[in-house]
Chain A
């Protein structure tokens, strides 16, 4: 497809379980971002990948959160031992490169519900 895709679109899990969220960026985009959107709040930056450089993990809220990206392709965000406060929409975005960070293209998000 032409846009950023994410899967699954919805995920319901039990507290304590691990979840893995997937993002497929636009082909050719070297920059990839993960954000979290809690109900009624703005987007919260989690992590940023730029090409093969070391990712910027400064936004990850705890060591239960991790993300990987192989080259300039798919990224996965993993949340271990999920907690109820992890319930949110997780949005992925990509941009051509870091210099065009404003023109980020967002996926539809994964709605995570932790029971």
Chain B
């Protein structure tokens, strides 16, 4: 199977919370990331978490990591229409040069 998996689509109403989920397979993953891609733009790093952490909060963003289940989630509170984008989960291992990305979750925020 793929190294990093995400559901492809998520639709929420403006003001609701969005939760985007990601699973990965490699237990040696050291860093886990969330990137945002808006139409016509490059990927933007939103946040990242070290594998020895369970949670990280940054304003409206909350990242939860369940290392035992190899499950990562991104929660966006009070989702706005400007949050509509594709969100990529990624992981890297300490001594590797590359990162492995999921296929991306397209978040649609309805007014």
The residues of A with any CB-CB pair to B shorter than 8 Å are 3-4, 33, 35, 40-45, 48, 50, 56, 58-59, 91, 93, 98, 101-109
Contact = CB atoms under 8 A, between A and B. Distances in A.
Nearest to A104: B45
B42 A4 contact: yes
Contacts of A101: 92, 97, 99
B88 A42 contact: yes
B53 interface: no
Contacts of A107: 42
Contacts of B98: 33, 45, 48, 56, 58-59
Interface of B is mostly: strand
Given A45-B98, A56-B98, A104-B43, 5 more contacts: A42-B2, A59-B98, A93-B42, A103-B45, A106-B43
A42 B4 contact: yes
A105 B43 CA distance: 7
Interface stretch (B10-18, B59-67, B68-76, B100-108): B100-108
Nearest to B33: A102
Contact of A45 (B33, B43, B48, B99): B99
Contacts of A42: 2, 4, 88, 100-104
Contacts of A56: 97-98
Given A40-B8, A42-B4, A42-B88, A50 B97 contact: yes
